[in-house]
């Protein structure tokens, strides 16, 4: 498949779109020539309690580093997502909820979601939660997750949502890091027909979190779980004691809205901090533009609210735009691999947004599970989270979209808050596998390893030379780490950690991470985190983890493990280590391959040569490169001879 294949903008899309090709070019020009005016309009899409007069105040240089947007304005996020729609759309459905097994579904109107949000807000207040306090949310994909997030926003508390797939240990680390005193969870979750013991995980986590005084538990199932008196209470009981109205707290544009932990190349996951005004403006602006969204259309983003995609495109962006947003509790292949499309038919989904890994997994099941559904309401498809290979793109387009739906391949990161590069359905001809061009106002740049700016058609490391309102503001509790991680590799620029190619049409093709972050089924993981889990096992002396291409997951997890003296390689030990990592981090981090290695390739100064380990894992043995600088070159021969899968 050559890059040459281009899918033109369908005529009806060019006609109906918020932005056609000419309008896109004009918006990009405007952002260059009148940035102040352009960004002011982006901010003005929100309702402000105190309108802002300052628009942008940014420097990426260390001496006067700052990122501030709309900084003298005040607003409340929940008012923008709920109250302001009530007059005209109070009875419109805000959230459609579809349960794991499809036996139950539910609908909440904007009026109902506002009342529920206020109850949650009052429950939190009654527990003593105040503006600026951190609240950890560890819930399944149920409407309460959205209501709890919005409730925090209403009273000015800062939420930290932790994906329900994380282990007690990972949860504990996140609670401790942001010092939250309160945890919201459910007795159990249900996912793909399996029970997720959320409350039990919380109990386990809290053994190492003495600062937590209150746990609010939502009853998702009938199962009784142990409740610690004085600490744990059911939301169902608490909500009866509070009113369903709550005055919103006026927040400064730069007050924190949420913390979301994400993996980097080193150390523990960092708490990415997003603020109120800029984040919401950017989430709403991009949701409208990229999905060509109009109020009332049924929008389904399949991401879990535990990831940034769920924050920006299940909750904040859609609700700010008066959307009907679908919250799905389940997985793509349960009870059958028609599930996604059955849900689309059942709820008349018009815009569908998912991850390449789901598409690849469904593609493997063939066309029949798709074909037996109608999908006639779907007009637009989207993908996010990892590069989409052209084969999967073409299948998505031809089979799922019947050739009539444009695909928006949206590139962005937890750090960027919302999309930065994506086609616009009414403006951008599509090339399968390319996230095409930057949104108006976004300034990508490719540089080489030394930071030299590369022009024209080329490949390099992807930076952004200027800010956008949805940019993260700091790493919670460690501003220095924020600056060092993102702004010192190429001073004066934000470095994304991604590599990319730019073609002769100026289209971008993300090639993946160039750092030690791997992307497994769209879940972002630091190899250092997995290594640290492995060396925590009593049999392990040393471990090195790399990614390798995996047909379904995008990248798989390949672990090289050196055992302590006296320990012996065995299949049982492999299984044990796999289970160990699942328990330490979460099931999605389970290693795909464990190779026992008597030694790891190191330089004479003791640095592990990951490049070589990656090549071996990728089975690219012809390109091991120069091994002469290794302390012990024979190590490599052994690794190759005993490569997992090698005969």
Our CB check for ligand WTA shows the closer of 252 and 410 to be: 410
For 548, the token pair is 């390798």
Does position 441 interact with ligand WTA (CB under 6 A)? The reply is: no
Look at residues 473, 468, 459 and name the one whose alpha carbon lies nearest to residue 503: 459
Kindly state the smallest distance separating residue 36's Cβ from ligand WTA, in Å: 28
How far apart are the C-alpha atoms of 611 and 614, rounded to whole Å? 5
Query: Within positions 502 to 531, which residues make up the interface with ligand WTA, using CB under 6 A?
Result: 510, 512-513, 519, 524
Which H or E run contains 24?
helix 21-33
Strand-pairing partners, residue 189, are 196
Residue 333, phi-psi category: left (phi > 0), alpha (psi -120 to 50), beta (remainder): alpha
- Kindly tell me which residue out of 414, 461, 471, 527 binds ligand WTA, with binding defined by CB under 6 A: 414
Does position 262 interact with ligand WTA (CB under 6 A)? The reply is: yes
- Kindly tell me which residue out of 71, 308, 561, 597 binds ligand WTA, with binding defined by CB under 6 A: 308
For residue 640, give the 3-state DSSP assignment.
helix
Angle between helices 168-178 and 198-206 (to 10 degrees): 60
- Kindly tell me which residue out of 76, 160, 309, 527 binds ligand WTA, with binding defined by CB under 6 A: 309
Residue 514 is assigned to a ligand binding site: no
Our CB check for ligand WTA shows the closer of 205 and 500 to be: 500
Kindly state the smallest distance separating residue 494's Cβ from ligand WTA, in Å: 12
For residue 305, give the 3-state DSSP assignment.
coil
Our CB check for ligand WTA shows the closer of 356 and 369 to be: 356
For 511, the token pair is 């090639």
Our CB check for ligand WTA shows the closer of 67 and 155 to be: 67
Residue 309 is assigned to a ligand binding site: yes
Our CB check for ligand WTA shows the closer of 246 and 362 to be: 362
Does position 255 interact with ligand WTA (CB under 6 A)? The reply is: no
Question: How many CB atoms neighbour CB 268 within 10 A?
Answer: 16
Q: In what order do the strands lie in the sheet with 494-502?
A: 453-454, 444-447, 458-464, 494-502, 508-513
3-state secondary structure 420-477: CECCCCCCCCECCCCCECECCCCCEEEECCCCCEECCCEEEEEEECCCCCCCCCEECC
- Kindly tell me which residue out of 116, 304, 498, 516 binds ligand WTA, with binding defined by CB under 6 A: 498
Residue 504 is assigned to a ligand binding site: no
Our CB check for ligand WTA shows the closer of 71 and 442 to be: 442
Strand-pairing partners, residue 421, are 411, 438
Kindly state the smallest distance separating residue 357's Cβ from ligand WTA, in Å: 11
Longest distance between any two alpha carbons in the chain, whole Å: 74
Residue 468 is assigned to a ligand binding site: no
Residue 477 is assigned to a ligand binding site: no
Residue 492 is assigned to a ligand binding site: no
**CB contact set of 243 (below 8 Å; sequence gap of 6+):** 118, 119, 122
Strand-pairing partners, residue 496, are none
Kindly state the smallest distance separating residue 470's Cβ from ligand WTA, in Å: 12
Binding site, by residue number, is 191-194, 309, 333, 385-387, 409-414, 498, 513, 521, 524, 535, 537, 540, 582
Which residues are documented as binding site for CoA? 191-194, 309, 333, 521, 582
What is the contact surface with ligand WTA in residues (CB under 6 A)? 262, 307-309, 384-387, 409-414, 435, 496-498, 510, 512-513, 519, 524
Annotated binding site for ATP: 385-387, 409-414, 498, 513, 524
């Amino acid at each position: 498949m050559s890059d040459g294949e281009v899918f033109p903008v369908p005529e009806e899309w060019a006609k109906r779109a918020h932005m056609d090709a000419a309008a896109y070019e004009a918006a990009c020009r405007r952002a260059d020539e009148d940035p102040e005016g352009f960004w002011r309009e982006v901010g003005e899409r929100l309702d402000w309690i105190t309108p802002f007069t300052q628009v942008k105040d940014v420097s990426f240089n260390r001496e006067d580093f700052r990122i501030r947007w709309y900084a003298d304005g005040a607003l409340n996020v929940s008012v923008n997502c709920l109250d302001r729609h009530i007059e005209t759309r109070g009875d419109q459905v805000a959230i459609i909820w579809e349960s794991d097994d499809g036996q139950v579904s539910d609908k909440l109107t904007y009026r109902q979601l506002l009342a529920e949000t206020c109850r949650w807000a009052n429950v939190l207040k009654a527990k003593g939660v105040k503006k600026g306090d951190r609240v950890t949310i560890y819930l399944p994909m149920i409407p309460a997750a959205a209501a709890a997030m919005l409730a925090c926003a209403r009273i000015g508390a800062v939420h930290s949502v932790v994906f329900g797939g994380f282990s007690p240990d990972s949860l504990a680390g996140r609670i401790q890091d942001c010092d939250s005193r309160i945890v919201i969870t459910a007795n159990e979750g249900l996912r793909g027909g399996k029970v997720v013991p959320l409350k039990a995980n919380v109990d386990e986590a809290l053994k190492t979190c003495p600062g937590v005084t209150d746990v609010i538990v939502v009853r998702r199932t009938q199962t009784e779980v142990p409740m610690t008196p004085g600490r744990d209470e059911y939301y169902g009981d608490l909500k009866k004691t509070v009113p369903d109205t709550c005055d919103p707290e006026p927040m400064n544009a730069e007050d924190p809205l949420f913390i979301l932990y994400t993996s980097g190349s080193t150390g523990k996951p960092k708490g990415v901090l997003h603020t109120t005004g800029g984040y919401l403006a950017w989430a709403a602006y991009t949701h409208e533009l990229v999905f060509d969204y109009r109020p009332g259309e049924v929008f389904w983003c399949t991401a879990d609210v535990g990831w940034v995609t769920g924050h920006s495109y299940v909750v904040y962006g859609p609700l700010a735009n008066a959307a009907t947003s679908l919250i799905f509790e389940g997985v793509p292949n349960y009870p059958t691999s028609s599930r996604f499309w059955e849900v689309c038919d059942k709820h008349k989904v018009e815009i569908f947004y998912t991850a390449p890994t789901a598409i690849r997994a469904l593609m493997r099941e063939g066309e029949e599970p798709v074909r037996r559904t109608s999908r006639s309401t779907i007009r637009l498809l989207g993908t996010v989270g990892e590069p989409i290979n052209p084969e999967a793109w073409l299948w998505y387009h031809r089979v799922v979209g019947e050739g009539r739906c444009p695909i928006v391949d949206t590139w962005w990161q937890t750090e960027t808050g919302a999309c930065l590069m994506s086609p616009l359905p009414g403006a951008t001809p599509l090339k399968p596998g390319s996230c095409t061009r930057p949104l108006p106002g976004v300034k990508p740049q490719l540089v080489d390893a030394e930071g030299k700016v590369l022009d024209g058609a080329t490949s390099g490391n992807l930076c952004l030379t200027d800010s956008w309102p949805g940019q993260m503001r700091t790493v919670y509790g460690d501003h220095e780490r924020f600056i060092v991680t993102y702004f010192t590799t190429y001073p004066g620029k934000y470095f994304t950690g991604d590599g990319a190619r730019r073609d002769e049409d100026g289209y971008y093709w993300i090639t993946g991470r160039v750092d030690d972050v791997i992307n497994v089924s769209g879940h972002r993981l630091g190899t250092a985190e997995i290594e640290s889990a492995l060396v925590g096992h009593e049999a392990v002396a040393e471990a090195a983890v790399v990614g390798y291409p995996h047909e379904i997951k995008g990248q798989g997890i390949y672990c090289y493990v050196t055992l302590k003296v006296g320990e012996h390689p065995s299949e049982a030990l492999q299984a044990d280590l796999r289970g160990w990592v699942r328990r330490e981090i979460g099931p999605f981090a389970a290693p795909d391959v464990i190779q026992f290695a008597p030694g790891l390739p190191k330089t004479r100064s003791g640095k592990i040569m990951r490049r070589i380990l990656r090549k071996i894992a990728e089975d690219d043995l012809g390109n091991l490169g120069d091994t002469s600088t290794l302390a012990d070159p024979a190590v490599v021969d052994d690794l190759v001879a005993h490569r997992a899968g090698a005969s």
